[in-house]
Amino acid sequence: MKFEDLVREHDKSRMLDLILSSPLEFVEYFEKYGEIELPPSVAGVKIPSEWRNVAVLGMGGSAIVGDVLRSYLLDRGGTPVEVVRDLRVPAHVGRGTLLIAVSYSGNTMETLRAAIEGLRRGAYLVAVTSGGLLGQLAAGVGAATYKLPPGRPSRTALPPMLAAVLRIAEAAGITGPIDAPQAAERARKLVERIRGSPLDSAPARVAAELNNRVPLIYSYQPYSPLGLRLKTQINENAKYHAFYMELPEADHNEVMGWE
């Protein structure tokens, strides 16, 4: 059976098209979000002249952009970044915290509760969402909202979500100018190679090797978010178990299972 026939039969939600269009979509939204300015105050809290920390709130695919931002800034920025996948925010979140709440639907209960708690403590909120309750909360307190395109599986919204979080970091002065289009161009060239020979591409060969096997995925900084993203995409798209561990931590425990 031809590749196109396989896609037509099994990919009813057009997941392949959404994934392969990621580089172009990222550039589109990176340019669009560059026009958004952060307001001078949110919920009566003035934007700080200097940030103490950044907390990215999110669950599942919405949280992975926080991991990417943290890895990107490891060697580039002095402001600590943490990702909060929880109902509550850590005790040190408050005045001087850039609170980035990411929820594709806008109705993720954990993210909403953490955002409200952060606001009560005086954190400066920015929302990344397609609408929902998070959009309403942001509008009510005068926070900037980076609006995501609606009507798609949330796990396919990584390009606009990542573009939004990077633009927020730029606008807040957490990082200097980001040359995102250059990185996206490299990704676009890789996509064209896959499109040209899909069944002979590296992803297709890896997929064939994984058939009837449980993937154990290892990666290290600054590529740790990529390993986690691969794991979660296998979980969600293939409805299949996959497990991830970061190096070098895995060298001190999980690797012992191979002895």
Going by C-alpha positions, the residue among 224, 173, 130 that lies closest to residue 38 is: 173
DSSP class of residue 151 equals S
Greatest alpha-carbon span in the chain:
61
Going by C-alpha positions, the residue among 170, 182, 179 that lies closest to residue 79 is: 170
Q: Give the predicted TM-score (pTM) of the model.
A: 0.92
Residue the block writes with tokens 């060239």: 189
Residue 140 three-state SS: helix
* Displacement of CA 242 from its chain's centroid (Å): 19
What average pLDDT does this structure show over 146-158?
Answer: 92
User: How does pLDDT run across 96-137, given as a tens digit for each residue?
Assistant: 999 999 999 999 999 999 999 999 999 999 999 999 999 999
User: How does pLDDT run across 15-57, given as a tens digit for each residue?
Assistant: 888 888 888 899 999 999 999 999 999 999 999 999 999 999 9
Domains defined for the chain, CATH in brackets: 3-7+197-258 (3.40.50.10490), 34-178 (3.40.50.10490)
Which residues are 57's β-sheet partners? 84, 101
